[in-house]
Copies of this chain bind each other. A is one copy, B any other.
Amino acid sequence: MSDERELAELTRLVREFSTERDWQQFHDPKSVILALVGEVGELAELFQWIPADDAVPRFADEARRARAGEEIADVLVYLLRLADVLGVDIATATRRKLADSHRRFDPAVVRGTAPEKR
């Protein structure tokens, strides 16, 4: 177990938490995505009315930062659970995606310009 990497470990902890409560029966992918959406909604609510420039300083306050951390953690928990029920290796998928983004977005071309969605 000493070689277990962090995302695999957290995935296992979330799986064990679910199994101990016999909650894996509720964790079909669509349900887990809805739960993820619920947590993303709670995250959005923390920031919705704060002026954009003010968000970082406002959340420098320890209690608020901890509050944001809780909502971020909730999103991660469901994201790990989703990857797990789908048999997706989230660490590998993320490294692959980053490598792909390095290829797609050449700094010489995109520097300082936000890619626009249309």
Query: A residues bordering B, Cβ < 8 Å?
Result: 5-7, 10, 13-14, 17, 20-23, 25-26, 28-31, 33-53, 55-56, 59-60, 65-70, 72-77, 79, 82-83, 85-98, 101-102, 105, 107, 110-112, 114-118
Contacts and interface: CB of A to CB of B under 8 A. Distances in A.
Interface of A is mostly: helix
B105 A89 contact: no
A87 B80 CA distance: 21
A72 B88 contact: yes
Complex A-B, nearest 3 residue pairs according to Cβ-Cβ distance, in ascending order: A41-B41, A49-B114, A69-B93
B112 A93 contact: no
A47 to B, nearest CB: 5
